[in-house]
Chains A and B, each alone.
Chain A
Amino acid sequence: MSEDLAPPRWAVELNSPPVPRTKATIPDPPGYTAASSGNKKQIASSKTPARTAPTTEEMDTLKLKKAWEVALAPVKQLPMTAIMMYMSGNSLQIFSIMMVVMAFKNPIMGLVATNQAFEKFDSDGTRAALLGVKAVYVAMQVLALALGVWKVNGMGLLPTTRSDWLAWETARDAIETAIPAF
């Protein structure tokens, strides 16, 4: 990556589109801060075409930040899933079965693909820190899995009760036999 080569104009405009002219006259709606501030930053950066590229440390920090987002993503949908699972009831029907299948499939696929999920954030600097992130990621997937297990348990599909093992229990053999002759 050469430092003095300025990016072409279309690339700059792609990243920071020109500010609409109405922008000056109409104030932002209340709460619309993030985007405008972002825009302002972009404008600011676009104003300085010879932007200094982020340093490796900065990239690592950024990557770590992104990695955290990926790690915490599963837990963000948990409340929603939990509510849906609660609402769908414990009876065996196509909707609840599909939900249970998804509740198991997603975390397991996520666990299997743990390394792929963090591959793009992997670098020499982040490798050490990424371990912890991965651990959290795994923990979150396990949490999601636990929700699925909770649901399956609610549906009575887990062999947790005595009755589930009754078929493998046998009656006691009587050692003695008595033959009735009445």
Chain B
Amino acid sequence: MRLPTNLICLTLSVLPSVIAVYSDEAYSVDYHHELLGLPLPHTTFFYRPRKDDKASLIYTLSDLGVLGAVNPGVGTVVWRQLLADYEGLPQPGFLRPIEGENTVVSAIGSRVDAWDALSGKSVWGTSFEGAARDVEVMEIAAGSTEAKDVLALFEEGGTTYLRKLKGTTGDVVWEFKDGSVDTPLQVSTNVRSVFVVSLHGSSSGYNLKITVLDPVTGKRTTEYTLTTKLDVHAPEDVLLVGANSAAPIVAWADKAMKTLKVNLLGKPGDIQSLPLKDSDGAIKKVELHAPHLVQSLPHFLVHSHTETSNRADVYHIDLASGNIKKAYDLPKLPGQGAISVSSQEANVYFTRLTQDEVIVVSSASHGILGRWPLKLETAQGSLVHGAAEVVQKSSDGYAIRSAVLTTEQDWVLVRNGAESWVRPEGLSGVIAAAWAELPESENLVKNLEVEAESNPVSAYMHRVNRHINDLQYLPQYLQALPRRFLSSIIPAEIIAPKIGVLTKDSFGFNKLVIVATQRGRIYGLDAGNQGRIVWSATAFPQSEGRSWDVKGIWVENLKGQTTIRGSDGEYVIVNTTSGTKIESVAPGSWPTLTATALVDSTSGKWLLPIGIDGNPGDIPSEWAPKDTIVVRSGNGEVKGLRFEPKTASPNSEPVMTWSFTPPADQRIIKVVSRPAHDPVASIGRVLGDRTVLYKYLNPNVALITAVSDEKLTASFYLIDTVSGDLLYSVSHEGVDTTQPITSALTENWFTYSLWGDITTDLSLPSTLKGYQIVISEMYESDVPNDRGPLSYHVNSSSLEPSDIPNADPSLPHVVSETFLIPEAISHMSVTQTRQGITVRQLLCTLASSRAIIGIPKQILDPRRPIGRAPTAAEQEEGLFQYTPNIEFDPKIILTHQREVIGVKDVIASPAILESTSLIFAYGVDVFGTRVAPSAAFDILGKGFNKISLVATVAALWVGVVVLAPMASLFPY
């Protein structure tokens, strides 16, 4: 019975299937920057997941709260976990390896988790009230086989909690609660005691309080205070609390950066002063590096930076006497440098990277163990900090790998001085992005516009002139001709495409994406070339703990300029293709803004800033927008503004024309409008009996989402944004307002998803809840072949909908349907095509699946017949029977195997091909692809064999040439 199975398999394989990404398109049309965020100095380290194996991985908990392991050999991500909810900047995170146990422990926010270091799977995880302030691995006496326990320091409402968690399960062994109101800073331990370091006092000047605990019982043994003499004002002022070393220390610098004060933990009243040398200029920054292993020698290094140079001093701690004495120093070198510490058993190595070389020294003596010239292939800026791994190969041979972060926010692995790989981690944390056309053929567009507007004769002359002018490019054109021929037959990649050259293609796939990150950097990515970084620049560097709040990106394709506006009034204008700054205005020069709008005024288009409370302020009349501006104001309303000229003033002032306020207990969480590019090819929907349901195509509509946290409702209001009229509203009960509620509005339909009651029978109280997506289509009338109250009017006005004065607006007829979905949708957007002929696809971000899916509109159709098979007419319309749930079939996942984390937004752009829409998703990661919602009907697939076609034609031609003389020999 083998034949039938084979036959079935064959038949099934022949059947066409509707899939989002064809297997031969995966990894070629889509691109993904798998990013972590900037590695932080205290949470980045090399660590061997397998005790006996020499192979190690780089672990980091980044500034975005992404925990990841990176293969140091090739720089690929081994595994990642997003530990922070991606809402602004995450809370500080802590990461420690457990030596010899294949586990790393992380603490961020309220959670403490242990992860399998090799696979990234969760070993255990617990959460507590309050926020984590530190986590430390509890060292145990040598020889013990038990799993090492974890100390977690939490701050909860001003109270310090220290909990010892069982290394195997995460259960709490003991809990220590500090009664006084202090700011917990760090926990440190040697084998004998546990030290909790906290800031005691007020922000005008803290003292350091050290509480010593018994590691077995968690009872307080002693407690002492170090007087800092007003040197410590913030947690950042304490430089180091030497973690798990044999002699943990706490150190801080005095205000003038002249001396460094050090206390060995456990020795009350013993503050040793170490001088900080500053030969050229004041010391700007002091860093301390100490080993983290209890078996390592108690040595530490003080790295001091001035504006122009850096130097380092190595100190030894005498364990018996508790004295600190200087061993040697590393000479002053110009520029910035990065020093990292690594320990191998008792030996401690310091690795120093400067602009031009890498040196390794042992902590014991100043002899240089290895020295390599530093060769970075691309200009990376200066080095910020690094993590290093030193391996002793022979008695005097050392190998060093160092993962360094540069000021250009690239993460570079330097292996024995040579650059091994570069990860563009600065590209993570994108907060805004916009599509940009390649400017190459914009000239042609301009010319064509000129020709279209002038009279036929002059247009003809213009065109002839243009063609004569084009003749100078003929040699280049002829040179490129063979390549063009070849590339249309053989896949273009084979004939060495020119890397680094931005060329516009005839399909419109090559576009740029301008992105701005929360750290104040901007990048230009080539969407047609696997998302390659074309340029990057620093726009406005952000201080630590602050995120750049970009309010608008405006790409002027004709001028080749991009304007990026931030919330503090700063803006930068850059060249779209090169990233060179044209104009930059520092924060504070303009008033604070909450949004921007691209408006059309008599003086041209410009990006209008909207100030606090939705007030754009007075504007010179020639720059005043002609149209109504719809803004959100601070007190939870949406309002429409028109600019009216002021009397006796050249300025215009905004006048409120309407405002929409939801009921008192509701707050507006989201407002969406139709996309700027939203063409509609057909204004009606043809039914099975060939009658037409006319779509309600008002361009000026907005969908407002308002939730009530007390009544657990979510209400959706569809308003006309010119008149402010309420067109439609719907409310859902039993909604969890903390879950994501998203919405999208396009063409004649809107959709939203939420977690709430599933109402099947309205008479019964609902007990079922779930994630649901609701699709609503708007029509001009519920009767086919009827264009509603406006009938055959050519124009529509929202202010005066009909000839009758003060008539009601023509309301849309709304058809809705609800579908259950398996998981929450965190963001929605819609594909865009050039003319809107192609059916739209709803792009949904699934945060928990780390995926982006494209739900076809055919599935999301409120007209699907319920509880019966479709009639012949309905089948003709393309309707199939309603099923209450939509399964997220792997075939509709646009990201296929890729895991895209922290997606904030998905933007779409039309290609020249009508079938195709370009998609770009950003957030922590950057992902881009192309989708063809109605299949790629206007382009040949990769499976089309052009070579065999050409060969067939050529063979036929040869046959004709050979046979024609033979045939002519015979008269008939």
Q: Which residues of A are at the interface with B, using a C-beta cutoff of 8 A? A: 156, 161-164, 166-167, 169-182
In the assembled complex, which residues on chain B have CB atoms less than 8 Å from the CB atom of A169?
683-684
State which of A161, A176, A182 has its C-beta within 8 Å of the C-beta of B628.
A176
Given contacts A163-B692, A166-B684, A166-B692, contact A176 B797 (CB under 8 A): yes
Q: Is B215 an interface residue (CB 8 A)?
A: no
Q: Is B512 an interface residue (CB 8 A)?
A: no
Residues A171 and B798 in contact, CB atoms below 8 Å apart = no
A178 to chain B, nearest CB (A): 4
State which of B610, B628, B631, B682 has its C-beta within 8 Å of the C-beta of A177.
B628
- Sampled A-B contacts (19; CB under 8 Å): A163-B686, A171-B680, A172-B790, A172-B794, A173-B794, A173-B796, A174-B699, A174-B700, A175-B796, A177-B627, A177-B628, A177-B700, A178-B629, A179-B597, A179-B599, A180-B597, A181-B631, A182-B595, A182-B671
A173 to chain B, nearest CB (A): 5
Which residue in chain A gives the minimum CB-CB distance to B626? A177
Residues B702 and A179 in contact, CB atoms below 8 Å apart = no
In the assembled complex, which residues on chain B have CB atoms less than 8 Å from the CB atom of A156?
690
B681 to chain A, nearest CB (A): 9
Question: Which 3 residue pairs of A and B lie closest in terms of their CB atoms, listed nearest first?
Answer: A181-B597, A161-B690, A178-B721
In the assembled complex, which residues on chain A have CB atoms less than 8 Å from the CB atom of B596?
181
B747 to chain A, nearest CB (A): 11
Which residue in chain B gives the minimum CB-CB distance to A161? B690
In the assembled complex, which residues on chain A have CB atoms less than 8 Å from the CB atom of B629?
178-179, 181
Bound together, the chains give a CA A175 to CA B699 distance in angstroms of 10
Which residue in chain B gives the minimum CB-CB distance to A181? B597
Residues B686 and A178 in contact, CB atoms below 8 Å apart = no
A111 to chain B, nearest CB (A): 30
Q: How large is the interface on B (under 10, 10 to 19, 20 to 34, 35 or more residues)?
A: 35 or more
Bound together, the chains give a CA A179 to CA B630 distance in angstroms of 6
In the assembled complex, which residues on chain B have CB atoms less than 8 Å from the CB atom of A170?
683, 794
Q: Is B110 an interface residue (CB 8 A)?
A: no
Q: Is B420 an interface residue (CB 8 A)?
A: no
Q: Is B712 an interface residue (CB 8 A)?
A: no
In the assembled complex, which residues on chain B have CB atoms less than 8 Å from the CB atom of A163?
684, 686-687, 690-692
Q: Which residues of B are at the interface with A, using a C-beta cutoff of 8 A? A: 595-599, 608, 610, 614, 625-632, 640, 671-673, 680, 682-684, 686-687, 689-692, 697-700, 702, 721-722, 784-785, 790, 793-799
In the assembled complex, which residues on chain B have CB atoms less than 8 Å from the CB atom of A178?
627-630, 640, 700, 721-722
B298 to chain A, nearest CB (A): 58
In the assembled complex, which residues on chain A have CB atoms less than 8 Å from the CB atom of B597?
179-181
Which residue in chain A gives the minimum CB-CB distance to B702? A180
Residues B684 and A174 in contact, CB atoms below 8 Å apart = no
Residues B785 and A182 in contact, CB atoms below 8 Å apart = no
State which of A161, A173, A174 has its C-beta within 8 Å of the C-beta of B798.
A174
Bound together, the chains give a CA A173 to CA B610 distance in angstroms of 28
Bound together, the chains give a CA A177 to CA B700 distance in angstroms of 6
Given contacts A172-B790, A172-B796, contact A179 B598 (CB under 8 A): yes
Query: Beyond A172-B794, A174-B700: 12 further Cβ-contacts under 8 Å?
Result: A156-B690, A162-B784, A175-B797, A176-B722, A177-B627, A179-B628, A180-B597, A180-B721, A181-B595, A181-B629, A182-B632, A182-B673
Residues B796 and A180 in contact, CB atoms below 8 Å apart = no
Bound together, the chains give a CA A12 to CA B692 distance in angstroms of 73
In the assembled complex, which residues on chain A have CB atoms less than 8 Å from the CB atom of B699?
174, 177
In the assembled complex, which residues on chain B have CB atoms less than 8 Å from the CB atom of A166?
682-684, 686, 692
Bound together, the chains give a CA A166 to CA B684 distance in angstroms of 7
Bound together, the chains give a CA A170 to CA B796 distance in angstroms of 12
In the assembled complex, which residues on chain A have CB atoms less than 8 Å from the CB atom of B799?
175-176
Bound together, the chains give a CA A167 to CA B680 distance in angstroms of 12
In the assembled complex, which residues on chain B have CB atoms less than 8 Å from the CB atom of A181?
595-597, 608, 610, 614, 629-631
In the assembled complex, which residues on chain A have CB atoms less than 8 Å from the CB atom of B684?
162-163, 166, 169
A164 to chain B, nearest CB (A): 7
State which of B671, B690, B692, B797 has its C-beta within 8 Å of the C-beta of A180.
B671
State which of A161, A167, A171, A176 has its C-beta within 8 Å of the C-beta of B627.
A176
Bound together, the chains give a CA A167 to CA B692 distance in angstroms of 11
In the assembled complex, which residues on chain A have CB atoms less than 8 Å from the CB atom of B687?
163
Residues B630 and A162 in contact, CB atoms below 8 Å apart = no
Bound together, the chains give a CA A99 to CA B599 distance in angstroms of 60
Bound together, the chains give a CA A175 to CA B796 distance in angstroms of 6
Which residue in chain B gives the minimum CB-CB distance to A177? B627
B831 to chain A, nearest CB (A): 20
Bound together, the chains give a CA A154 to CA B816 distance in angstroms of 34
A169 to chain B, nearest CB (A): 6
In the assembled complex, which residues on chain A have CB atoms less than 8 Å from the CB atom of B798?
174, 176
- Most chain B CB inside 10 Å of its own CB: which residue of A175, A177, A178: A178
Residues A172 and B795 in contact, CB atoms below 8 Å apart = yes
Given contacts A162-B692, A181-B629, A182-B671, contact A176 B683 (CB under 8 A): no
State which of A164, A167, A174, A182 has its C-beta within 8 Å of the C-beta of B797.
A174
Bound together, the chains give a CA A166 to CA B694 distance in angstroms of 9
Which residue in chain A gives the minimum CB-CB distance to B723? A176
Bound together, the chains give a CA A30 to CA B847 distance in angstroms of 92
In the assembled complex, which residues on chain B have CB atoms less than 8 Å from the CB atom of A177?
626-628, 699-700, 722
Residues A179 and B785 in contact, CB atoms below 8 Å apart = no
Which residue in chain B gives the minimum CB-CB distance to A180? B673
In the assembled complex, which residues on chain A have CB atoms less than 8 Å from the CB atom of B793?
172
In the assembled complex, which residues on chain B have CB atoms less than 8 Å from the CB atom of A171?
680, 683, 697
Which residue in chain B gives the minimum CB-CB distance to A173? B795
Bound together, the chains give a CA A171 to CA B629 distance in angstroms of 23
In the assembled complex, which residues on chain B have CB atoms less than 8 Å from the CB atom of A164?
690
Bound together, the chains give a CA A133 to CA B853 distance in angstroms of 72
In the assembled complex, which residues on chain A have CB atoms less than 8 Å from the CB atom of B631?
181-182
In the assembled complex, which residues on chain A have CB atoms less than 8 Å from the CB atom of B794?
170, 172-173
State which of A161, A173, A174, A179 has its C-beta within 8 Å of the C-beta of B691.
A161
B638 to chain A, nearest CB (A): 8
Bound together, the chains give a CA A182 to CA B675 distance in angstroms of 13
In the assembled complex, which residues on chain B have CB atoms less than 8 Å from the CB atom of A162?
684, 690-692, 784-785
Bound together, the chains give a CA A20 to CA B552 distance in angstroms of 109
Bound together, the chains give a CA A177 to CA B721 distance in angstroms of 8
Which residue in chain A gives the minimum CB-CB distance to B699? A174
Residues A179 and B625 in contact, CB atoms below 8 Å apart = yes
B92 to chain A, nearest CB (A): 32
A165 to chain B, nearest CB (A): 9
Which residue in chain A gives the minimum CB-CB distance to B720? A178
A170 to chain B, nearest CB (A): 7
Bound together, the chains give a CA A164 to CA B691 distance in angstroms of 9
Bound together, the chains give a CA A119 to CA B459 distance in angstroms of 60
State which of B610, B626, B689, B795 has its C-beta within 8 Å of the C-beta of A174.
B795
In the assembled complex, which residues on chain B have CB atoms less than 8 Å from the CB atom of A175?
795-797, 799
Which residue in chain B gives the minimum CB-CB distance to A160? B690
B301 to chain A, nearest CB (A): 52
B738 to chain A, nearest CB (A): 22
B802 to chain A, nearest CB (A): 12
Bound together, the chains give a CA A180 to CA B629 distance in angstroms of 6
